[in-house]
Amino acid sequence: MEKQIKNDAITARDVDFAQWYTDVCRKAELMDYSSTKGFIIYRPYGYAIWERIQVYLNQRFAETGHENVYMPMVIPQSLFNKEKEHVEGFAPEVLLATYGGKEKLEDPLIIRPTSEVLFCEHYSKIISSYRDLPKKYNQWCSVVRWEKTTRPFLRGAEFLWQEGHTVHETEEEARVETLGMLKIYEQLGTDLLAIPFMSGQKTEKEKFAGAEETYAIEALMHDGKSLQSGTTHYFGTGFAEAFNIRYQDRQNTLQYAHQTSWGVSTRLIGSLIMVHGDDNGLVLPPFVAPIQVVIVPIMMQKEGVLEASEALLESIQKLGIRVKLDRSTQSPGWKFAEYEMKGVPLRIEVGPRDLANGQVVLALRDTKEKKMVPVATVVEGLQAELKAMHQRMLVAAQNHLEQHITDADSLDELLDILNHKGGYVRLSVSASPDVEQIIKEKAQATARVIPFHQQGLKKTCAITGEPAQRVVLFARAY
């Protein structure tokens, strides 16, 4: 492994993690700031990462019988107000349009913060019989939530996401859907993002407004904070009752339908940056990287260098690998730093001296290793290199996660762990909302998930001394 030279354009993570994150977002050309606070510009490289996520999920959605649709971006306020609990949950975040042209609107329009009410209104019109069920729709869109404090990809006034909304004949079927989508999100992490998510149920305090139950995937960042990276919700019949989504069942009786909702957003890009990045910028898992291999010619003016580079480009393209040949006049050193910053997994350096020996240099972004590879065999080995890199990154993230799950038996222990180590603190607690309030006030931490596997449940609540009823993971979070 070669000694890594620090990129001075990026603040070191351990010096100022927040500034490091911002530096990477800007310098790697993932985004830029717009003239409206909280609304970012997704630059081509950043948007390409989102497109890779879309490709993966669209395939999984198709395999499980879901269809993509598109709903309007505005919601009449009168319609939005039909589901009280939902409205109260989103009221502080809505952006309201009160004028259309020069005319004041009698029924102001809400720029969608989420689309439950739009789907519900539509479903109430098209569902009348059990034969119409299930309805399994998904949409890719943007939503607007008027956040006071924003940070690129993590929390914005506008962000991109997918939101699935399904309707089912039975509670059992809807619950299977809810947990099935959670499993797909977990697989998105392991298959594409090389991120092992912590998953489980949200507490009553943290669940989605209007849901009976909410489940989440949580990613652990390098700095020990958690990031909620996706959610699935079982709605029961609450929305169906508010919007009169009823169907005639197999016994010719009218029943309210059971619903679910689920979604992930461009927060996943924030997860990728903070889970895998290093002091030189992005380190992108190979299967989500917009550019998987970059070819950098050294001394292009020398005979045979550009020709050999172009031959490699053609051969690699035939394998379906996303590859770029950089023919620009920038220096090789500049190009090395640029593609390291952008997190390109593999770099092939093609120079006249190495070509004379029938070799090229293969540089690995994750381990910083450089190795000499015969020109004749470098292309055939790329698929294996990419797969091996993905697995290394997944294992490294898994190890980091496992090393940062710590048990505590008191508030003092919780504080000590969060202040000095970070990560998830596993507590046995009562179901009282007082527990979460105390921890939020004293430790600035929140309940992230109730793990499905409740190992290590103790008799006494670590915070109140009352009988403990469940194990919960707490963490500081973005």
Taking the C-alpha atoms of residue 477 and residue 447, their distance in angstroms, rounded to an integer, is 10
Mean pLDDT of 445-458: 96
Mean pLDDT of 418-440: 96
* Cβ pair 88, 134 in contact under 8 A: no
Mean pLDDT of 124-131: 98
pLDDT at 152: 96
Mean pLDDT of 155-169: 97
pLDDT at 103: 96
Kindly state whether residues 374 and 414 are assigned to the same domain: no
Structure tokens given for 80: 């939005």
Kindly state whether residues 172 and 213 are assigned to the same domain: yes
Kindly state whether residues 322 and 263 are assigned to the same domain: no
Residue where a domain terminates, one of 387, 422, 444 = 387
Does pLDDT of 2 surpass 60?
no
Q: What is the chain's Cα-based Rg?
A: 25
Which residues does residue 467 pair with via DSSP β-bridges, in sequence order? 460
Does residue 362 fall inside a structural domain? yes
Structure tokens given for 178: 């809810």
Residue 379: CATH number of its domain: 3.40.50.800
pLDDT at 5: 67
Q: Tell me the CA distances in angstroms from 21 to 136, 151, 152, 396, one per residue in order.
A: 37, 10, 9, 20
Could you tell me whether strands 246-248 and 226-236 are parallel, antiparallel, or unpaired per DSSP bridges? unpaired
pLDDT single digits (tens) 319-356: 999 999 999 999 999 999 999 999 999 999 999 999 99
Which position has the token pair 């505590």?
408
Does pLDDT of 163 surpass 80?
yes
Which position has the token pair 């971006």?
73
Does residue 10 fall inside a structural domain? no
Q: Which residue, 143, 186, 196, is CA-closest to 401?
A: 196
Residue 300 pLDDT class (50, 70, 90 cuts):
confident
pLDDT single digits (tens) 220-238: 999 999 999 999 999 999 9
Taking the C-alpha atoms of residue 249 and residue 260, their distance in angstroms, rounded to an integer, is 19
Mean pLDDT of 142-162: 94
pLDDT single digits (tens) 382-420: 999 999 999 999 999 999 999 999 999 999 999 999 999
Kindly state whether residues 254 and 332 are assigned to the same domain: no
Task: Name the domain count of the chain.
Answer: 3
pLDDT at 4: 55
Does residue 12 fall inside a structural domain? no
Taking the C-alpha atoms of residue 262 and residue 231, their distance in angstroms, rounded to an integer, is 6
Residue 1 pLDDT class (50, 70, 90 cuts):
very low
Kindly state whether residues 30 and 153 are assigned to the same domain: yes
Residue 422 pLDDT class (50, 70, 90 cuts):
very high
Kindly state whether residues 252 and 315 are assigned to the same domain: no
Kindly state whether residues 185 and 119 are assigned to the same domain: yes
Kindly state whether residues 315 and 437 are assigned to the same domain: no
Q: Strands of 117-212 (E only): list them.
A: 135-144, 158-168, 198-201
Residue 477 pLDDT class (50, 70, 90 cuts):
very high
Kindly state whether residues 157 and 110 are assigned to the same domain: yes
Burial annotation 264-292 (CB, 10 A radius, 16+ → b, else e) = bbbbbbbbbbbbbbbebbbbbbbbbbbbb
Does pLDDT of 8 surpass 90?
no
pLDDT at 168: 98
Residue 301 pLDDT class (50, 70, 90 cuts):
confident
Structure tokens given for 443: 């430790």
Does residue 90 fall inside a structural domain? yes
User: Over pLDDT 90: what percentage of the chain?
Assistant: 93
Residue where a domain terminates, one of 247, 276, 305 = 276
pLDDT at 273: 98
Range of the domain at 379: 293-387
Kindly state whether residues 187 and 305 are assigned to the same domain: no
pLDDT at 86: 67
Q: Which residue, 17, 247, 41, 226, is CA-closest to 130?
A: 247
Taking the C-alpha atoms of residue 7 and residue 20, their distance in angstroms, rounded to an integer, is 11
- Burial grade of 438 (CB within 10 A; 0-12, 13-18, 19 or more): middle
Kindly state whether residues 33 and 87 are assigned to the same domain: yes
- In the chain the first and final C-alpha atoms are separated, in Å, by 34
Residue 159 pLDDT class (50, 70, 90 cuts):
very high
Helices (H), 37-170: 44-63, 77-80, 84-90, 116-126
Residue where a domain terminates, one of 361, 387, 413 = 387
Does residue 286 fall inside a structural domain? no
Residue 79 pLDDT class (50, 70, 90 cuts):
very high
* Cβ pair 348, 379 in contact under 8 A: no
Kindly state whether residues 233 and 103 are assigned to the same domain: yes
The residue type at 128: S
Average pLDDT, the chain: 96
What backbone torsions phi and psi does residue 204 show, to the nearest 5 degrees?
Answer: -55, -40
User: Over pLDDT 70: what percentage of the chain?
Assistant: 98
pLDDT single digits (tens) 34-49: 999 999 999 999 999 9
Residue 219: CATH number of its domain: 3.30.930.10
Could you tell me whether strands 346-350 and 103-111 are parallel, antiparallel, or unpaired per DSSP bridges? unpaired
Does residue 84 fall inside a structural domain? yes
Q: Which residues contact 199 (CB under 8 A, 6 or more apart)?
A: 182, 185, 186, 215, 216, 217, 218, 449, 451, 452
Does residue 398 fall inside a structural domain? no
Does residue 155 fall inside a structural domain? yes
